[in-house]
């Protein structure tokens, strides 16, 4: 039986996901209406709105699920980024970051409790879909989990899956949008004549705390999602490189 906290977290993630999907759908309808009468030439507003809808769809899926790894694996499969569509973690071992001041409080650990750190790239085939900073409490994981985290490049979410963890999103930020802020309030839809659409390297950033099935926090993550999530179809030539 789910606890009240688990039910609340699930409802929160569901609400966030629904809001993001509604925003994407509303934006698409508004821009389709604004694009009427432009037959015979490409409409850059429609193109940008289609991209915003894709971006918000990914954002909603990430917010609605506990495992970013599995969500990215589904995205990779659905958009045929690789075959097989399997997420691997490329651990960058020469990167080390101090524990942020607020992380110990969020993880409910004292000043002397050891904190582990991993900086990884989550890749599907040759596509690096996200980068993650992960501070975790080794004392709240099994010996086998700690061994795998220290000696392999397995994704964190797959290693700790036996904890049946739940994710509490602290923030979800669009780092870039193909449409300007407040575009939906304008009397006339924005025009982009001659403006080439380029998709920058970093698109989304999520911050979250992972909790075990006994509601004990054990990991704080900051995930940054890259434009490689759009490395398919007509979007591929528009991706900026690092």
* Across 125-142, average pLDDT: 96
Q: State the Cα–Cα distance between residues 50 and 178, nearest whole angstrom.
A: 9
The percentage of residues in the chain with a pLDDT greater than 70, rounded to a whole number, is: 79
Residue 81's domain comprises: 68-238
User: Do the domain assignments include residue 208?
Assistant: yes
**Where residue 96 falls among pLDDT bands split at 50, 70, 90?**
confident
Could you read off the pLDDT of 31-51 as tens digits, one per residue?
A: 444 444 444 444 577 888 899
pTM here is: 0.77
The structural domain count of the chain equals: 1
93 falls in which pLDDT band (50, 70, 90)?
Answer: confident
Question: How many angstroms from the chain centroid is the CA of residue 179?
Answer: 19
Specify if 9 maps to a domain.
Answer: no
CB contact set of 219 (below 8 Å; sequence gap of 6+): 107, 134, 135, 136, 137, 156, 160, 165, 209, 210
- Cβ neighbour number for residue 148 with a 10 Å cutoff: 17
The reply to whether 12 falls in a domain is no
Give a yes or no: residue 54 inside a domain: no
User: Is 27 inside a domain boundary?
Assistant: no
Residue 225 lies in a domain: yes
Tell me if 232 is assigned to some domain: yes
* Per-residue model confidence (pLDDT) at position 95: 75
- pLDDT for the residue 22: 53
Question: What integer pLDDT is reported at residue 36 of this predicted model?
Answer: 42
Q: What is the pLDDT of residue 218?
A: 98
Site of tokens 């001041």: 101
* Of 5 and 96, the one with more pLDDT: 96
Q: What does each C-alpha distance from 129 to 47, 86, 167 come to in angstroms?
A: 22, 12, 20
CB 174 within 8 A of CB 224: no
Looking at the domain assignment, is residue 148 inside a domain? yes
My answer on whether omega of the bond before 84 falls inside 30° of 0, hence cis, is: yes
22 phi and psi, to 5 degrees?
-65, -40
Query: For position 109, which CATH number holds?
Result: 3.40.1410.10
Q: What is the pLDDT of residues 148-206, one digit of tens each?
A: 999 998 889 999 999 999 999 999 999 999 988 877 777 776 666 556 889 999 999 99
Mean pLDDT of the chain: 84
Mean pLDDT of the 82-96 span: 89
């Amino acid at each position: 039986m789910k606890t009240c906290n688990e039910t609340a977290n699930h409802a929160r993630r569901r609400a966030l996901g629904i809001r993001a999907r509604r925003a994407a759908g509303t934006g698409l309808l508004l821009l389709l209406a604004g694009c009427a009468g432009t037959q015979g030439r490409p409409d850059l507003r429609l193109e940008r709105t289609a991209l915003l809808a894709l971006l918000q769809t990914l954002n909603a899926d990430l917010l609605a699920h506990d495992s970013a790894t599995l969500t990215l694996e589904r995205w990779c499969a659905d958009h045929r980024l690789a075959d097989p569509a399997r997420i691997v973690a490329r651990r960058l071992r020469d990167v080390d970051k101090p524990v942020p001041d607020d992380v110990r409080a969020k993880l409910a650990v004292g000043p002397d409790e050891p904190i582990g750190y991993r900086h990884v790239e989550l890749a599907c085939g040759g596509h690096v879909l996200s980068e993650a900073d992960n501070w975790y409490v080794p004392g709240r994981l099994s010996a086998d989990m700690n061994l795998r985290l220290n000696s392999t490049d397995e994704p964190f979410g797959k290693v700790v899956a036996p904890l049946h963890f739940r994710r509490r999103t602290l923030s979800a930020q669009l780092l870039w949008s193909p449409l300007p802020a407040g575009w939906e309030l304008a009397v006339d839809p924005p025009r982009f004549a001659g403006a080439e659409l380029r998709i920058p390297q970093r698109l989304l950033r999520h911050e979250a705390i992972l909790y075990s099935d006994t509601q004990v926090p054990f990991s704080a993550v900051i995930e940054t999602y890259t434009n490689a999530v759009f490395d398919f179809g007509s979007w591929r030539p528009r991706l900026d490189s690092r």
